[in-house]
Chain A
Amino acid sequence: MPNSVRVLQISLRRRVMDRFMTALAALTVLLVLLPLGAIFAYLLYRGFGSISWAFLTQIPKPVGEAGGGMANGIVGTVLILGIASVMGVPLGIGAGIYLSEYGQNRFGDLVRFVADVMNGVPSIVIGIVAYGLVVLRQKHFSAIAGGVALAIMMVPTITRTTEQMLLLVPHALREAAYGLGVPRWRTTLSITLRTATSGVVTGIMLAFARVAGETAPLLFTAFGNQFWNLHANQPTAALSLQIFNYAISPFDEWHRQAWAGALVLIVLIVAAVSAVRIAVSRGTLAGVR
């Protein structure tokens, strides 16, 4: 910093200001990290304190009885997420491919804008839509309805990240394949998409992690269930729903279970994300820059 002697007086005030603002900015970082640390610390502390084998393997006991667990919620969450992925991932990837390979036009811009805007639609509103689409027609709550809601939420994220990742693949690779007489569709799938696999999967996992803990859109779609259920068109338990219901209940035992459920939910998300990441990096990362 060029502080010449002649302007020392002003410079001192300015330097103090400079230091002050730097300190202030650092303080904001601390203030933001504080709740994060607190949440994680408390989650681990209460979660590990409450988790047990029974919690992972049993279904809820009636009010007043000790014990029981959220096994049905864990299975239900996996089921709903599976349904959501099966519907949302192909649609999102397809739209992403369209945007990067054919979408340099007005319609492409529209799709990009719609996807970005849809990302901001409140999840509870998506829940209403899935309710109207599935629950009203079937006349009952179901895992499928929950899956539809979460799928709608996954699509915009997957679309945009897939597009961005495919655009990162150098044009020269596409040309190399065209030069071998490979048709364009084949080039897109076997060269462009394959080269970008790890990025595309990251996008999918981002979307997955975002919806895995969603509660609001499941409230009146999957609805929850105190018992075992593996039928996709019956009301289905989900971890997040159970955490919510237990948290706002007046029972200490259920509060403990809510914390255990929160821990399991976080671990489930992290495990799923890392497992897929590892599987993908084994498969393709070797060659990608």
Chain B
Amino acid sequence: MGVEIKVEKINAWYGKTQALFDIDLDVLANHATALIGPSGCGKSTFIRCLNRMHETLPGARVTGRVQIGDLDIYKGTSATQLRRRVGMVFQKPNPFPSMSIYDNVAAGLKLNGFSNRKQTDEIVETALKSSALWDEVKDSLHKQSGASLSGGQQQRLCIARALAVQPEVLLMDEPCSALDPISTGKVEELIFQLKSKYTIVIVTHNMQQAGRVAEFTGFFLLGRMIEFDKTERIFTNPSDKRTEDYVTGRFG
């Protein structure tokens, strides 16, 4: 089941440039939370702080406290341990090109040293069903390479890959920005179903998408979180002028 996320005073830097300023945020378990804002506002940087992905870039730095479930992620744990509990789906689908569909989904298990063949089979099937890709690929699991699927299928494959590690939280960084409308619809439907089991944080530049999939929405601007509220409220009656300007399309 999903767990809740508590973020306190997160600051992040790229070299000398500060990208995030004192972000506080509480994410409810088993809900979808959307982060919106113009490009460069720090929303992607922010979710990359939630699975300690930010620090893999040269010169990048984070301060602050993030509590995911019972885990204080910048203290009592290693980044790799954490990332097994917090899955991530990226902007562009990035299946491993040298692996079959099956191996792609099983990658997280195999590469982490899990080698039970029978259980792996089950997990792969479950994950592919959860990502609504099973019916399309079940006959070519081993024959077909992950890279040979269509863009939308690739993204669902990447979701399955993330789910196979049995995470509690799923971070999605503009998962539909590289997809066509039909594929986008499928992925959105999927997000909708997945939140019964996972806590989902999704970054999107598409406000309608935030409206369709998320119960809560945060608005980012220039590295600060301007406003965080129920999605309906953000879109219909925001309390900050800047949020209103953004959601009504006056800039960004």
Contacts and interface: CB of A to CB of B under 8 A. Distances in A.
Interface in B73-107: 79-85, 87-88, 90, 92, 94-100, 107
A187 B146 contact: no
Contact of B98 (A186, A187, A195): A195
Contacts of A194: 98
A177 interface: yes
Contact of A287 (B111, B147, B158): B147
A104 interface: yes
A180 B111 CA distance: 9
A179 interface: yes
Closest 4 CB pairs of A and B: A181-B84, A287-B145, A180-B108, A179-B88
A289 B148 CA distance: 9
B53 A179 contact: yes
A216 to B, nearest CB: 39
Contacts of A179: 51, 53, 83, 87-88, 90, 162
A181 B107 contact: no
B112 A182 contact: yes
Contacts of B162: 179-180
Contacts of B17: none
Contact of B80 (A104, A182, A191): A182
Given A182-B107, A182-B112, 20 more contacts: A170-B94, A172-B94, A175-B88, A175-B94, A177-B107, A178-B56, A179-B90, A180-B84, A180-B87, A180-B165, A181-B82, A181-B108, A182-B111, A183-B80, A187-B111, A190-B111, A195-B97, A286-B98, A287-B98, A287-B100
A180 B162 CA distance: 6
Interface residues of A, number: 25
A57 B100 CA distance: 45
Given A172-B90, A183-B80, A284 B108 contact: no
B136 to A, nearest CB: 18
Contacts of B146: 287
Interface in A184-229: 186-187, 190-191, 194-195, 197
B31 interface: no
Contact of B96 (A176, A186, A289): A176
B73 to A, nearest CB: 12
> Which has the most chain B C-beta neighbours within 10 Å: A177, A182, A190, A288?
A182
A42 B165 CA distance: 62
Contact of A182 (B97, B108, B145): B108
B156 interface: no
A173 interface: yes
A108 B208 CA distance: 47
B87 A287 contact: no
Nearest to B148: A287
A199 to B, nearest CB: 12
Q: Is the interface of A mostly helix, strand, loop or mixed?
A: helix
Most chain A C-beta atoms within 10 Å of own C-beta, residue among B83, B84, B90, B98: B98
21 contacts: A172-B90, A173-B94, A176-B95, A176-B161, A179-B51, A179-B83, A179-B87, A181-B83, A181-B85, A183-B80, A187-B111, A191-B107, A195-B96, A195-B97, A284-B98, A286-B145, A287-B97, A287-B145, A287-B148, A288-B147, A289-B147
B45 to A, nearest CB: 14
A194 B111 CA distance: 13
Contacts of A172: 90, 92, 94
B58 interface: yes
Given A175-B56, A180-B112, A289 B97 contact: yes
A224 to B, nearest CB: 43
A175 B84 CA distance: 13
A287 B94 CA distance: 13
A181 B92 contact: no
Nearest to A287: B145
B150 to A, nearest CB: 15
Contacts of A197: 98
A225 B80 CA distance: 56
A186 B84 CA distance: 14
Given A104-B58, A289-B147, A180 B107 contact: yes
Interface string A12-42: 0000000000000000000000000000000
Give the residue among B96, B100, B158, B162 with the most A Cβ atoms within 10 A: B96
A190 B82 CA distance: 20
A190 B92 CA distance: 21
Interface string A161-178: 000000000101101111
